[in-house]
Amino acid sequence: MTGDAWNVALNIIASVITGSAVWLATRALAWRRVRRMQVFFGLTGGDECLVVVPRHASSNRGSSVHRNDAAALLELSTVLGDCRARPEVVFHDDVYQGAADKAEFCIGGPDANQRTAAHLRSAVPNLRHALHEDDPEGLAISVGEHRFPVEKGRAEYVALAKIQRDRDDKPAFLICGQTSVSNRAAARYLQRNRARLMRNHGLRKRFCLILRVVEPDVYGPSVVELAHDATSEAFTAS
């Protein structure tokens, strides 16, 4: 084989080796990202998780679900797909399972979801969400000294909390909004900001955020901002 032929062969071999190394490195990084996300959400490939849907608050039919809450499920489906998990979607009053048996996504305020009410009482005692009968206009979300009522036409609020009682327990993600629009906004926020949430709060630690949905009558669930990080106060009884 001539010198030129050897050079060509060596260049081809070097290119193959380099390409293989890059491919393997990319695969390793992708696997690491998926694994970190699975740990954060308490999901591993093939795991079943619980998705708890609320009733339509203004409907006379007990089994009716608002279209925005259905859309929130679609937002979460991206997370579940990326984690390769299998969802078990159940209605809020059909759940008879423990609080850490499976990873969980619980949607809706305590008026529309009795499992949300139980989670608030047992795991997030300093986070309060006013019931419709007590505060029909404001539906205020309160934590510590902070209070966030609905600002009619201007802003709505939603609590997004990760509940993890013990390190080895499966986490529950609580989406507790004043309206179905705010529920959908928080589901979208969780899906789009998961990497930031992992960086800011770690993979296994709990957190509680109050999100503001800006101009929901105009922008719907699209414009969301952090109103308050309540992690340090929400989980301790006042």
CA 125 to chain centre: 20
Q: List, for residues 81-108, the tens digit of each pLDDT value.
A: 888 888 888 887 776 677 778 899 999 9
Task: Please determine, for residue 76, whether its predicted confidence score (pLDDT) is greater than 50.
Answer: yes
Mean pLDDT of the region 18-36:
54
Kindly indicate the confidence band of residue 44, based on its pLDDT and cuts at 50, 70 and 90.
Answer: confident
pLDDT on residue 61: 64
Task: Please determine, for residue 12, whether its predicted confidence score (pLDDT) is greater than 60.
Answer: no
Among 192, 132, 126, 135, residue whose Cα is nearest residue 159: 126
Residue 178 burial (CB < 10 Å; 0-12/13-18/19+)? buried
Kindly indicate the confidence band of residue 215, based on its pLDDT and cuts at 50, 70 and 90.
Answer: very high
Task: Please determine, for residue 213, whether its predicted confidence score (pLDDT) is greater than 60.
Answer: yes
pLDDT on residue 62: 60
User: What pTM was computed for the model?
Assistant: 0.84
**Size of the chain in residues:** 238
> Strands (DSSP E) along the chain, which ranges?
48-53, 86-91, 104-107, 127-129, 141-143, 146-148, 155-163, 172-177, 207-214, 224-229
Q: Contact 164/51 with Cβ under 8 angstroms? A: no
Domain boundaries, the chain: 42-234
Task: Please determine, for residue 7, whether its predicted confidence score (pLDDT) is greater than 70.
Answer: no
